Amino acid sequence: MKRLIVFAALALACIDAAAQSDSTSKKHDKLSEIEVLSLPSHKKKSAVPESLFDYDLLSYSGYGLLRVKKENFSTKMLGHYEVFSNILEGRVNPCDWMSVNLGLDIAWKGFRSDSCVFALDSNKDLQILNPEQAGGPFDSYNSYLKCFNLAFPLTVRFHGSHFSARLGAQAEWNIYSWTVTRTKKDNYRGKDTYKRTNLNALSYSLIAGINYYGVGVYFKYSPSSCPIFSSENAKFGYTSFGIVLGL
């Protein structure tokens, strides 16, 4: 009987010791887990991007001044301008520092001249005339030419954490254009408006830009060999320089 009592006491002591050991082990595991979670992560930057394909809506918008390469155009700083905004941009990311981008932009261009007159002939072709050819001389006059198009920029973008650069080209689908001319002669003020100017369906430009913290500058060159307007009299190229907000 005494042996049974001693054996039972030893068994209870062993069970209690095992339970205490298991509890201590669980506490140690929990402490180790907390320590691991609290350690700072030193994850190595991978050359492979998180997503190969990506897209953005309303990625950027910009404003630029144009320099027209044609005689008789206004050379004033604010004589010609363009405004554009991105609608959609798709990207292919072969690595985390470079992407290939194809976008869809809406663009608006305005041209102004105080040395020639914009008009349309009977075929709706744009004509750039001297004041005398348009009924002058005038005491004063201003002629405006405006154009709306959709642009499809294809660019390669190189980027770091805050700095990026783009290089590429864009096709422009010219949709609508019109001219407005205001004249003054012998106290008479006139205004002539011509709508739906004939356009080349497509023109193209070369583009480049740099960006830092979401603010950047861009440069664009559009050659006269592929102009906006279809008439021989109105073939001109231009360069553009301006600011961009966004990617």
105's tokens: 């932009």
Is there a contact between 120 and 197 (Cβ–Cβ < 8 Å)?
Answer: yes
Pairing of strands 215-222, 53-57: unpaired
Distances from the Cα of 103 to the Cα of 54, 154, 192, angstroms: 12, 7, 36
Burial class (CB in 10 A: 0-12, 13-18, 19+), 205: buried
Q: What is the pLDDT of residue 122?
A: 75
Indicate the helix (H) or strand (E) that contains 239: strand 237-246
The third-level CATH classification (topology) of the domain covering 53-246 is: Porin (2.40.160)
pLDDT per residue over 7-45, tens digit each?
455 454 555 555 455 554 544 455 455 444 444 444 444
User: Token pair 């007159």 is at which residue?
Assistant: 117
pTM greater than 0.75 (yes/no): no
pLDDT per residue over 196-235, tens digit each?
777 888 889 999 999 998 899 999 999 877 778 777 777 7
How far apart are alpha carbons 111 and 227 in whole angstroms?
14
Query: What residue segments make up the domains of the chain, in order of their start?
Result: 1-42, 53-246
The string of DSSP codes covering 171-206 is EEEEEEEEEEEEEEETTEEEEEEEES--B-SEEEEE
